[in-house]
Amino acid sequence: MPRRLGASLRVVAATVVLVVSLGAGTAVAVPPPPPNPSDDQLDSTRAKANAQATQVGRLTNQVAQAEARLMELQADVELKMEDANKALVDLQTAQGEAAQAKADAEAAKAAADSASQAIDDAREDLDEFAAGSYRQGSTIGSMSAYLGAKSPEDLLARAELLNAVAGSELDVLDDLEVARTDKANKDSAARAALDLANEKEAQAQSAKEAADAATAAARQAQQDGAAQAQRIEAQKASAESQLIAAQSAVSGLESQRKRYQDWLAAKQREDALKAQQAAESAGGGGGGRPVAAPSSGSARSVINRALSQLGVPYAWGGGNAYGPTRGIRDGGVADMYGDYNKIGFDCSGLMIYAFAAAGYRLPHYSGYQAHAGRRVPLSQKAPGDMLFWASGGRIHHVALYIGNGQMVEAPHSGARVRIASVRYGGIVPYATRML
């Protein structure tokens, strides 16, 4: 028989056998079983897996500690940057008060100088009047006044008039003396206010310099910790790689045993799966987790306004009631990220923009924002409340709670406005409610 014809007949025969088998309703042939490892092999693999799991656990703890340290460093940087924010606000306020006090002092001095000049002029007129009276032995001009009189009554009237003029000069002089004293007192009070304003300005300037120094220290700490952060990331990557390796080792022969057992119970599992699928198809799907709604229309407006800025860059010092603005220099970490060249928000700037939707004007400092409304226990937080984080008892970050354990925030330099799960590490035990 030719080779090609024999091969064709074998294919036909095999096809006939397969069709007959399927058509007769007999069981489909089970594939060959997978390898079945022995109990000794399984025990050895488990021992190695346990040892590897111990190693992975140790590395996992190191990663957790490293991440906690990174969070502490980040909180410290944010705290110092917020100190700089506060110092800048206080300095601007003090400078405004000093400028107003200086203007008041200059106005009071000008008024006092004017009063003194008027007194000098009146006194000069009075001296001239007295000298003339002395030279004529009577009231100045009395001889010419009397010579022109037409009757005794006219003469008497002119004498009274001249005496009245002399008396009015003295009265005016007294009034001007009182005015000069009053102006001088106001001038003194204005200068005292100016001295106080200058003192406040000097104190605010000192606070700003201290904040700048703290920011510089934060930048130095950030630079010093850069190598450490890289090592932490490398350790984390190594831990994750070793974790994968450990999981592979654990699955090793046990996975083979499981596949062998699955092979033995293939028919039973297939029937159970079909029954389960049938039940699921008959039962339908389940529900989803509802999204929490804000407690009021104002809260909804505030949240929607904040969410409208998702993806906007973080910029230290950026943001006002009208939207994102160019960041400012801090002489430290923000400058390293070029925040002064970005249009965006910092954490407190985002709150200013969000709450402007409800007509609120918040200061550009999270420490002041924490006192801007009513405090409620953290467990009673509601959508639209502000959440705060502190280090050493001092607030350094703020975010807006939007419900379902989530918040919207401008996190830190190099990041963007985002939605995140509420972080409870370092969070203060209250929320601030404005609405």
pLDDT, tens digit (0-9, with 9 covering 90-100), for 13-40:
444 334 434 343 444 445 667 787 877 7
Cα–Cα distance for residue pair 385/299, rounded to 1 Å: 8
> Against a cut of 0.75, is the pTM above it?
no
pLDDT digits (tens, 9 = 90+) for 372-398: 999 999 999 999 999 999 999 999 999
pLDDT score at 383: 97
Cα–Cα distance for residue pair 116/399, rounded to 1 Å: 60
Segments of the chain scoring below 50 in pLDDT:
1-29, 139-141, 267-268, 276, 279-280, 283-295
Half-sphere exposure of 139 (CA within 13 A, CB side): 15
- The 3-state secondary structure of 366-381 reads HHHHCCCCEEEEHHHC
- Neighbour tally for 253: CB within 10 Å: 21
Half-sphere exposure of 272 (CA within 13 A, CB side): 6
Cα–Cα distance for residue pair 417/324, rounded to 1 Å: 11
Buried b (16+ CB within 10 A) or exposed e, 100-110: ebbebbeebbe
pLDDT score at 32: 63
Please name the residue ranges forming H helices in 24-38.
Answer: none
pLDDT score at 30: 52
Q: Which two tokens stand for residue 106?
A: 């200059």
- Neighbour tally for 83: CB within 10 Å: 22
Residues with a catalytic annotation lie at 347, 397, 409
Half-sphere exposure of 29 (CA within 13 A, CB side): 6
Instruction: Residue count of the chain, please give it.
Output: 435
pLDDT score at 227: 79
The residue behind tokens 């089970």 is 30
Q: Which two tokens stand for residue 392?
A: 């050493």
